[in-house]
Amino acid sequence: MSIRMLTAMLGILAIGLLSQPVFGQNQGGIRPLPPVQGFDAPASSELQPIVPPQGLGEPFVEPEPVPAPAADVPESTKQWWSPDTWIRQVEWEGGVEFGLNGTAGNSESVSLRAAANAKRKTELHEFTWDLTYAKTNSDGVETQNFGILNAGYERFLGESRWTYFIKQQLNYDEFKAFDLRIVLNSGVGYQFVETDTLNWKSRFGAGASHEIGGPDDNWVPEALFGTDFDWQFSERQKLTSKVDYFPAWADFHDYRIYSDIGWEILLNEAHALNLKLSIIDQYDSTPNGSKPNDVNYAVLLLWKM
């Protein structure tokens, strides 16, 4: 038998084997393949659906970010010009004062004195303001009517005793040669002593004053020398004083002195009620027809915040 005839017979045999169907036909339709030996397929009633692991097939929801714990913001990073910083983040302290004196009979007089003050102090800044108003009538004639507004800003320079300040004062008085005086100045301060019971500091600066409605309508350049002294000399008593000296740069004989001295006595600690003895003295070397010295003293009730 030749090789060609052997190759032809093997080809015919391969075609015959490949032509046999894998699935045969029976009365029930397609005949399945015989089961694999050793494997018992479960009945249809025992088939259980495949349950995916928990979480699979559900939509992905990104978890909400957990906020970082609140931390104290350093004073150096706060926006000191922000209203929220000035009003809410730091507490204010201050008080309201009121006094009323009067007489009736052979002579009638009524003297009213009211005032308010506030201070906000942080590690870097201090802002203060105070407002005083007084009015007196004697036998139906007004003898006194004035108001004074002081405001100041002070910037601390780290651990140094030196500070930088800006101050202003508005002075209204119906019995002076002017209607309103504006005083603006700036400079440096120095803290001599600062304890829980004693506070003493001084300042030096320059600025100008301007009288509205008076004979001299010019801005007058002035120097400033001042000091503050507060002493809590007992648990229930405190002495406060503030003195500012304003000489004109052109002539130091032309000057003004403003003094405010108070003695506070604690009456009721629960309600922060104090009795205050107050003296405000204003001296002007050039009064323009008025008396150079003007003193106002009063006994007041002071409520502190």
CATH number where 99 lies: 2.40.160.40
| Choice between 17 and 147, residue whose per-residue pLDDT is larger | 147
Q: What length does the chain have?
A: 305
Calpha distance 179→182 (Å, rounded)? 10
- Tens digits of residue pLDDT in 160-212: 999 999 999 999 999 888 899 999 999 999 999 999 999 999 999 999 999 99
pLDDT of residue 3: 60
* Average pLDDT estimate for 293-304: 90
Calpha distance 57→59 (Å, rounded)? 7
| C-alpha count within 13 angstroms, C-beta hemisphere, residue 275 | 6
Torsion from C-alpha of 80, 159, 150, 75, nearest 10 degrees = 20
> CB–CB of 305/95 below 8 Å?
yes
pLDDT of residue 17: 53
Domain limits at 180? 91-304
Which DSSP state fits 248? B
DSSP H or E run through 4: helix 3-18
Which DSSP state fits 276? E
DSSP H or E run through 237: strand 237-247
Residue 27: pLDDT band with limits 50, 70, 90? very low
In terms of Cα–Cα distance, which of 164, 187, 180, 161 is closest to 245?
187
C-alpha angle with apex 140: 136 to 144, nearest 5 degrees? 25
Question: Is residue 22 predicted with pLDDT exceeding 50?
Answer: no
| Choice between 42 and 95, residue whose per-residue pLDDT is larger | 95
> CB–CB of 101/300 below 8 Å?
no
> CB–CB of 100/299 below 8 Å?
no
Q: Which residues lie below 8 Å from residue 131, measured CB to CB, with a gap of 6+?
A: 115, 116, 117, 147, 148, 149, 150
Distance of CA 198 to the CA centre of its chain: 26
* Average pLDDT estimate for 72-87: 53
* Amino acid symbol at 218: N
Q: What percent of the chain has pLDDT over 90?
A: 49
Domain membership of residue 268 (yes or no) is yes
- The two tokens of residue 254 are 């032309």
In terms of Cα–Cα distance, which of 230, 228, 161 is closest to 197?
230
Mean pLDDT for the chain? 81
Domain membership of residue 102 (yes or no) is yes
If one counts the domains in the chain, the total is: 1
* Window from 5-19, 113-127, 151-165, 199-213 with minimum mean pLDDT: 5-19
Question: Is residue 4 predicted with pLDDT exceeding 70?
Answer: no
Question: Is residue 44 predicted with pLDDT exceeding 80?
Answer: no
Question: Is residue 35 predicted with pLDDT exceeding 80?
Answer: no
In terms of Cα–Cα distance, which of 262, 282, 259 is closest to 274?
262
- Which residue is it, tokens 């052109």? 250
Question: Is residue 243 predicted with pLDDT exceeding 60?
Answer: yes
pLDDT of residue 90: 58
* Window from 175-179, 240-244, 277-281 with minimum mean pLDDT: 175-179
Domain membership of residue 130 (yes or no) is yes
pLDDT of residue 100: 83
* Window from 31-40, 101-110, 117-126 with minimum mean pLDDT: 31-40
> CB–CB of 224/185 below 8 Å?
yes
pLDDT of residue 16: 57
pLDDT of residue 113: 92
Domain membership of residue 255 (yes or no) is yes
Calpha distance 205→269 (Å, rounded)? 39
Calpha distance 266→304 (Å, rounded)? 10
* Average pLDDT estimate for 81-87: 54
In terms of Cα–Cα distance, which of 184, 150, 122, 175 is closest to 295?
175
Domain membership of residue 59 (yes or no) is no
Domain membership of residue 30 (yes or no) is no
Domain membership of residue 74 (yes or no) is no
| Choice between 90 and 94, residue whose per-residue pLDDT is larger | 94
pLDDT of residue 24: 45
> CB–CB of 288/177 below 8 Å?
yes
C-alpha angle with apex 175: 220 to 129, nearest 5 degrees? 65
Domain membership of residue 290 (yes or no) is yes
